[in-house]
Chain A
Amino acid sequence: MAFIAFLILFPLLPAAMMLLVESPAVRKGIIIISAIAIAVISVDLAFSAPKDAPHYVNSAFHSLDNILLAGELILACTLLYLCRKLPFRKYWIPLMVVLQTGMVLWIELSGKLHDVKTQHVFFYDNLSLIMAVIIGVIGTLICVYAVGYMNQYHHHHHDIPDRQKLFFFTMFLFLSAMFGIVFADNLMWLYFFWEITTLCSFIMIGYSGTEEAVTNAFRALWMNLLGGLAFAIAIVYCVTVLKIIELDDLLNSGKSAAILLPVVLIAFAGLTKSAQFPFSAWLLGAMVAPTPVSALLHSSTMVKAGVYIIIKLAPAMLITIPGTMLTPGILIALIGAVSFLACSCLAISQSNAKRVLAYSTIANLGLIVLCAGVGSYLALWAAILLLIFHAVAKALLFLTVGTIEQQIGSRDIEDMHGLISKMPRITIIMLIGITGMFLAPFGMLISKWAALEALAVSDPFLPLAVIFGSSATLFFWGKWMGKLIAITNVKSDAESRICHEEWFVLSTLAGMTIAICALFPLVGSYFIEPLYGHDPILSKEHIIMVAILLGLVLLVPIAFFFNWKKLRNAEPYLCGAGIKDNYSQFTGSLGTKEWKLSNYYLEKYFGEARLFKLSVVISTILIIITFTIVCYGAR
């Protein structure tokens, strides 16, 4: 109980201090100390808490309700204030804020809650503990990185006003809200924290203040508000019709189909938060934000809240909709499948590194949603493994891209050609991140393996989506790796300009990526098994095989330290037109010419123009079908 209160409340302290402190050195000190505190406490909680069953925190304090009321009002006013400059035709954005807040306030003030059991306000179970570690460790690492990054950012961009106080305030507020989401059992509190993350996302995306940033911030706002609206409607339905306000009551209310409508509504909120199709545009637009924002909000943590809630609702989504043979789980899984397949293919045609990472994020979240929708024990295992590994690897990749962008001035993959000669250590860290995303025996591959084995048991359609999507991911990661490792022997001192915070965080995350895949059996048996039972992926044979492969892969870098005998050097073969000892030029017809190597982008097949629109259409149809069927079943 004390830990939960600490984790939710403590980040508010540095957040408030951020607004007051002027000196950057003091700010840096506060951030580092707070980061260490939060990380240590969250890991301690995860290891010391009993893992057999969920533990609830009873609320005897009625003043908590008043705090919630006040919080809601402040949040709504803040959002409306931020929308004040919107043109009149976008009236529907503030309207959504008003509707949501109105619904929730009505529930609180009209006394409906008196008939409802409001005993458990907060809780924790193994899934919450896993999420808490992710938020506590990775979230704080990103905050530390941001200290060094934002200094350089403002150094390079003199035209952007320095609002670092607001920036770090929002970061810590966000951490607090995320802890609130994973520990909240009362749906009203969950909704409140949910909307705080929406607010944080809006502030951070619009940080640079340029027109593009503001447009994208508002796009993120309305898509997330749509989810919030769905959440609010779900709460109203739960309180008035079902007389339930707590998540555990919702999930344990027996197998009745009455809970399906709010479950699907909350799942819809999860889909918007994790940028599944048709709501993917906001995540792609959010890439204009500074890199720590992309890492924290839009790959490791906030979007994980969306899939977290879907994983939590997975048991409820297995209930068959009356009058049909379908479950909402299958329909949600189909939406996840569309996102996974479409985004894996779309990433092939992108050359902007952050867009590739964004598409990859949405794709992996789609895979988690797919597994959660299927809902079997094996599939949920795979979903949680994916969640953990993706959080670490994606944070690493985003932060490394941020560092690279600051040094070479571009985030285009074409400009990263031959990076291993210019910035060898950063490139190696980047390679660890990329291989961690798609190669055996690293974590994401293990999770995909688990997912495929889990899905093959139920039906062939979903495995087909996973198979084709997974083949597409191999292409774009492979060609990115190739660009990075091309040896050009062009030296540069760019690495010396990278600050200590960035080095520390990047190396830690790289180490974590490797360590976690070595430790995945322990994670599995310690955390996930008590929740969902034993997974055959963890059978002794599999672990031995993966360990052998991992051992072999880890031996690879050791070979770089060997003294390979000096061989004769020969330039690349260019049909004789090469120049002696020249590795980038050849004799053309009018003198020497330089060659330039560029990747395939396969625009015709995987370009955004066609594929994006098609996926939006298909996913919208799926959502409409889902709601129609569920409403039909609920009447």
Chain B
Amino acid sequence: MGQDNNMKLLLAALAFVILTPVVCGLLAGFDRILTAKMQGRYGPPLLQPFFDVLKLFEKENLMVNQFYHSFYLICYLIFMVASGILFFTGQDLLLVIFAFTLADIFLVLAAYSTNSPYSFIGAERELLLMMSAEPMLLIAAVGLFMATKSFKVGAIADVADFSTISHLPGVFIGLLFILTIKLRKSPFDLSTSHHAHQELIKGVTTEFAGPSLALVEIAHWYETAIMLGIIYLFFAANPVIAVSVIIAAYFIEILIDNTFARFKWELTLTSSWTVSLVFGGLNLIVLFIIEKVKI
């Protein structure tokens, strides 16, 4: 029995590692085409993100300050994949979020190590974005615990009815808010973005060339997979509905990306924490009171 379980976990991990770049790459391509259509253009081919990444691997890598900062980026990718494997093999959600943070710190360290002004600003803002988004993620984890009585992703995904989402509507809305931060979409693309924004050059990724940038892109795909996976957990009872919700959420994110200008950092921090407290925190408190009253 234990062997069987281990085989299943191993298969899940392998599937995650291999399938995510494919699926999320296609999702990214779909993102760009939709964005182009919203702007009245044709847009690139669907497989464009793959062309981008493969091209980047063909380019020359550069050092800054005689230091091989790509080393930090390799760690970023490895720990992001580790966090994803923890998630998709059904482990403790809090540990997943903490490993996720660890991965992000490596990206920040890579930017800091270059001692370059634009990278530095990007790194500071990336830390700010992490600080803005983390409360809501942890509140979501605590909320899922209160609704399903378990922190384990496996147990949460096994819930057979829609009690998760019916208990946690506020948390879900808050999570959609910070999804914008994690997917690096306007208005929260403070630290780096896919479009050229002059005041930052490229923020965190300014000094990364060729293969380094490819690693960042691939790690971003894994990050997207984990975030969409957390969204999935709320509707895990019915996979078809869950996937539809994910697609709808992603569509809304693209819409928001194209209609909002970038926020200043103060507004990002205050709005994220306010939304986390009001939507997430209040949801938890109301849930707590309801359960106390029932008993």
Binding site for B on A (CB under 8 A): 418, 439-441, 445, 449, 452-453, 456, 459-461, 463-464, 467-468, 470-472, 474-475, 478-479, 481-483, 485-489, 541-542, 545-546, 548-549, 552-553, 556, 559-560, 564, 567-575, 583-584, 595, 597, 599-600, 602, 604-605
Partner of A418, one of B95, B102, B115, B266: B115
When A487-B113, A570-B63 are in contact, do A479 and B127 touch as well, CB less than 8 Å?
Answer: yes
Q: List 27 A-B contacts (CB under 8 A).
A: A439-B101, A439-B102, A449-B95, A452-B142, A459-B288, A460-B142, A461-B285, A464-B139, A464-B284, A467-B134, A467-B142, A471-B131, A471-B134, A474-B101, A475-B127, A475-B130, A475-B131, A482-B108, A482-B112, A485-B109, A485-B113, A489-B65, A545-B95, A584-B115, A599-B124, A600-B124, A605-B270
Q: How far is the CA of A570 from the CA of B74 in the complex (A)?
A: 20
When A552-B78, A570-B63 are in contact, do A542 and B105 touch as well, CB less than 8 Å?
Answer: no
Chain B residues in 8 Å Cβ range of A553: 102
CB distance from B69 to the nearest CB of A (A): 8
Cross-chain contact A569 with B128 (CB below 8 angstroms): no
When A467-B135, A597-B117 are in contact, do A456 and B79 touch as well, CB less than 8 Å?
Answer: no
CB distance from A556 to the nearest CB of B (A): 6
B273 at the A interface (CB under 8 A): yes
B48 at the A interface (CB under 8 A): no
When A460-B287, A574-B117 are in contact, do A468 and B135 touch as well, CB less than 8 Å?
Answer: yes
Cross-chain contact B142 with A572 (CB below 8 angstroms): no
Which DSSP category, helix, strand, loop or mixed, fits chain B's interface?
helix
Cross-chain contact A567 with B115 (CB below 8 angstroms): no
Among all A-B residue pairs, the 10 with the closest Cβ atoms: A572-B116, A482-B112, A460-B284, A440-B98, A471-B134, A486-B115, A487-B65, A467-B138, A475-B131, A564-B68
Which stretch (B29-37, B86-94, B222-230, B249-257) binds chain A? B86-94
B177 at the A interface (CB under 8 A): no
CB distance from A421 to the nearest CB of B (A): 9
Partner of A478, one of B75, B127, B273, B285: B127
Determine which residue in B91, B111, B127, B287 has the highest number of CB atoms from chain A within 10 A of its CB, and name it: B127
Q: How far is the CA of A468 from the CA of B74 in the complex (A)?
A: 30
Cross-chain contact A541 with B63 (CB below 8 angstroms): no
Which DSSP category, helix, strand, loop or mixed, fits chain A's interface?
helix
Partner of B82, one of A467, A548, A568: A548
B189 at the A interface (CB under 8 A): no
Task: Return the CB mask of B93-137 against A: 1 if under 8 Å, else 0.
Answer: 011001101100100110111111111100110011011001100
When A487-B114, A542-B92 are in contact, do A570 and B64 touch as well, CB less than 8 Å?
Answer: yes
- Give residues 240-277 of B contacting A (CB, 8 Å): 266, 269-270, 273, 277
Q: How far is the CA of A570 from the CA of B68 in the complex (A)?
A: 11
When A440-B101, A456-B145, A548-B82 are in contact, do A481 and B115 touch as well, CB less than 8 Å?
Answer: no
Cross-chain contact B115 with A564 (CB below 8 angstroms): no
Least CB separation from A560: chain B residue: B71
Cross-chain contact A572 with B128 (CB below 8 angstroms): no
Partner of A470, one of B63, B127, B134, B287: B134
Task: Return the CB mask of B136-151 against A: 1 if under 8 Å, else 0.
Answer: 0011001001100001
Least CB separation from B124: chain A residue: A600
Cross-chain contact A573 with B206 (CB below 8 angstroms): yes
Cross-chain contact A545 with B112 (CB below 8 angstroms): no
Partner of B117, one of A452, A483, A569, A572: A572
Q: How far is the CA of A564 from the CA of B82 in the complex (A)?
A: 24
When A467-B138, A552-B82 are in contact, do A456 and B115 touch as well, CB less than 8 Å?
Answer: no
Least CB separation from A449: chain B residue: B94
Cross-chain contact A474 with B127 (CB below 8 angstroms): yes
Chain B residues in 8 Å Cβ range of A475: 127-128, 130-131
When A453-B151, A461-B285, A559-B71 are in contact, do A572 and B131 touch as well, CB less than 8 Å?
Answer: no
Q: How far is the CA of A459 from the CA of B288 in the complex (A)?
A: 7
